[in-house]
Structure 1
């Protein structure tokens, strides 16, 4: 069976690329297709596979500014030739599912989210975009939404990375989805015997993650907050302008630094709404509780009172109230219990879930009439098919 893995773009190693790594381990002979590819910024696991990029790779500056090429992405995806592949697994968020699968192939889409900038986060993205993008988005977005919905029909089976995303798939594509949580390298993290007097906020610095809430809240409280993550210079500069002396920015820290800070923080702070949220699970794998906004994937990974605290109002005041509520019972959180809870989101669980869905889909296809050119239902064989008289 020839397997193809399709990912929106391979230019860094974040949550989506960790999914690709796990799929590469499941299917070591699979070929990878992507819109743009920066070999220097992906893992050795991915580099071992044959990677084919689209014609966007040849556009000057595409690797650094791929997101500005969104109007060309449908054409680029449909130009990828997947003839001869029997199983196609697309990793969707960017887009990726819009490839043209051959008729005989099973196309399974692992959906991190329907494209946020076209759907539920459209207005937030537009308001924070530059002048040209703000002008063009109302013109281009309706056409891209139509293409996005139409290409959902090219998918045989959807897998969502959370129930939160499954609800979006149902809303925008009118398709059901099986939930398989993404792989988290639980074994890469461990609790520390020493906990220091600081809270931690980590992740890509973009507006929807609401790191600004944490910076403002901890500045008001005068409590120590460490922020790890990179982003656009103007976004980082804005956060630094509002930050008081208790806020420390470490930028894009090495993994060793992130691992240490996750294990030694009083709690991990997660003020945004995420589709799943891998870093909070990494914090729990480090034995540390999480203070999170009670929406999105956080409500599926955090157990209030056992592994963290959820707050309802996504405001500075709501976060401050949650921090004080956490501190009132801080000693009741047990690192061993928190880490045990995180284990259910392991790489092994992810692989098992993916294998189960793939095997079920392949069994279903084998039972369909005309599968592989044969009658496969009701006990028909190829010879039975040849003997059937046409119906008039």
Structure 2
């Protein structure tokens, strides 16, 4: 069986790329197709695979400014030729599910989220553009939405990375999806023997992550906060931060792992589709102070693994920190870690493999030719041929 995995772009190694790695472990013979590639970011697992890029790769600066090429992405994606492949798995967060497959191939879309730029975060993204770019994007976005919705029909089966995203797929595409939570390398994390006196906020520093709430709240309280990550809003946050807030910038995995296991709690103030970082903190035995929306509600469950706040504001976060500190001794690291183990990489591979096999069987049954004895059994008295639904091609 020839397998193609279509990933929107390969310029970093974050949650979506971790899913891609696990898919490559499931299908070591798979070829990868992507819009834009930065070879310097590839993991050893991905380097083993043949990777085909689109014409966007040849545009100067595309690896750094790929998001500005969004209007061209549908054209670039549809020119990638996967007609030789029997199984196509698209990894969707940017344009990926719109790939054109042959009719008898099975196309499964693992959807991290419908494109945020044109749906949930459209107005946030638009506000951050320059005047000329904002005008062009306002004209192009409605066309991109139409393309995005219509290309949902090219997918045989959707897999969503959370119930939160499943509801979004139903609303945007009118399609049902099966929830298979993304893989988290929980075995790479472990609780520390000693907890240090600081809170941690980590991740890409962009608007929707709401790192600004953490910086302002801990500046107001004068409590120690360590911020790990980089992004366009890092410097403005440095300017408003008080002396209790420490910025480490982009760090290696060992530094992140150390801080996750030694912090009092992870502060997670944004709304995520799933959110791998809270699970990594839980795998380290540490509780999470999270905004009570999106994937965090599913990964954390009840408040046995941390504290939620529903008012996404500085006051709401300050109140959550105070409630957390009043309950600090109640949080059991072993119990928290046990919950994180539900999201292991092995579990993802097992569930994804079973789903693909079931869909392959369904596809084969749909496209099989009926046997002659079945045809005769369905002939009525006037010799009119009547086929069941499963026998129609």
Instruction: Please list the CA deviations of residues 148-181 of structure 1 after superposition, one character each: whole Å capped at 9, or x if unmatched.
Output: 0011000000000000000000000000000000
**2:109 aligned partner:** 109
Structure 1: how far apart are the matches of 2:365 and 2:353?
18
Structure 2: how far apart are the matches of 1:305 and 1:279?
17
Residue 230 of structure 2 aligns to a residue whose secondary structure is coil
Instruction: Please list the CA deviations of residues 7-61 of structure 1 after superposition, one character each: whole Å capped at 9, or x if unmatched.
Output: 0001110000000000000000000000011111110100000000011111111
Structure 1: how far apart are the matches of 2:90 and 2:305?
33
TM-score of the two chains, using structure 1 as the length reference: 0.95
Structure 1: how far apart are the matches of 2:128 and 2:249?
21
Structure 1 contact 293–310 (Cα < 8 Å) conserved: yes
Structure 1: how far apart are the matches of 2:306 and 2:259?
17
Structure 1 contact 304–310 (Cα < 8 Å) conserved: no
Q: Which runs of 4+ in 1 moved over 3 A?
A: 376-381, 388-391
1:261-280 superposed matches below 5 A: 261-280=259-278
Residue 318 of structure 1 aligns to a residue whose secondary structure is helix
CA RMSD of superposed structures (Å) = 1.6
Deviation at 1:390, TM superposition (A): 7.0
Instruction: Please list the CA deviations of residues 228-264 of structure 1 after superposition, one character each: whole Å capped at 9, or x if unmatched.
Output: 01112xx111111110000011111000000000000
Instruction: Please list the CA deviations of residues 59-103 of structure 1 after superposition, one character each: whole Å capped at 9, or x if unmatched.
Output: 111111111100110000000000110100000001111110111
Return closer, same or farther for 1:153/1:193 CA change in 2, 3 Å cut-off.
Answer: same
Structure 1 contact 198–225 (Cα < 8 Å) conserved: yes
1:195-206 superposed matches below 5 A: 195-206=195-206
**1:340 aligned partner:** 338
Structure 2 contact 209–271 (Cα < 8 Å) conserved: yes
Among candidates 281, 296, 299, match of residue 298 of structure 1 = 296
Structure 2: how far apart are the matches of 1:170 and 1:133?
30
Structure 1 contact 228–249 (Cα < 8 Å) conserved: yes
**2:20 aligned partner:** 20
Deviation at 1:375, TM superposition (A): 2.7
**2:238 aligned partner:** 240
Structure 2: how far apart are the matches of 1:363 and 1:100?
21
Deviation at 1:328, TM superposition (A): 0.2
Return closer, same or farther for 1:223/1:105 CA change in 2, 3 Å cut-off.
Answer: same
Structure 1: how far apart are the matches of 2:246 and 2:52?
41
Deviation at 1:376, TM superposition (A): 7.2
**2:391 aligned partner:** none
Which ranges in structure 2 are unaligned for 5 or more consecutive residues?
A: 387-393
Structure 2: how far apart are the matches of 1:141 and 1:377?
52
1:58-69 superposed matches below 5 A: 58-69=58-69
Residue 4 of structure 2 aligns to a residue whose secondary structure is strand
Structure 2: how far apart are the matches of 1:56 and 1:253?
30
Structure 1: how far apart are the matches of 2:327 and 2:255?
28
Structure 1 contact 367–376 (Cα < 8 Å) conserved: no
**2:347 aligned partner:** 349
Structure 1 contact 366–376 (Cα < 8 Å) conserved: no
TM-score of the two chains, using structure 2 as the length reference: 0.94
Structure 2: how far apart are the matches of 1:190 and 1:27?
29
Return closer, same or farther for 1:380/1:334 CA change in 2, 3 Å cut-off.
Answer: farther
Structure 2: how far apart are the matches of 1:243 and 1:122?
28
Structure 2: how far apart are the matches of 1:316 and 1:32?
43
Q: Do structure 1's residue 321 and structure 2's residue 316 form an aligned pair?
A: no
Structure 2 contact 375–385 (Cα < 8 Å) conserved: no
Return closer, same or farther for 1:103/1:117 CA change in 2, 3 Å cut-off.
Answer: same
Structure 2: how far apart are the matches of 1:167 and 1:304?
20
Return closer, same or farther for 1:201/1:367 CA change in 2, 3 Å cut-off.
Answer: same
Deviation at 1:304, TM superposition (A): 3.4
Structure 1 contact 367–377 (Cα < 8 Å) conserved: no
Structure 1: how far apart are the matches of 2:328 and 2:301?
15
Return closer, same or farther for 1:377/1:61 CA change in 2, 3 Å cut-off.
Answer: farther
Structure 2: how far apart are the matches of 1:327 and 1:140?
48
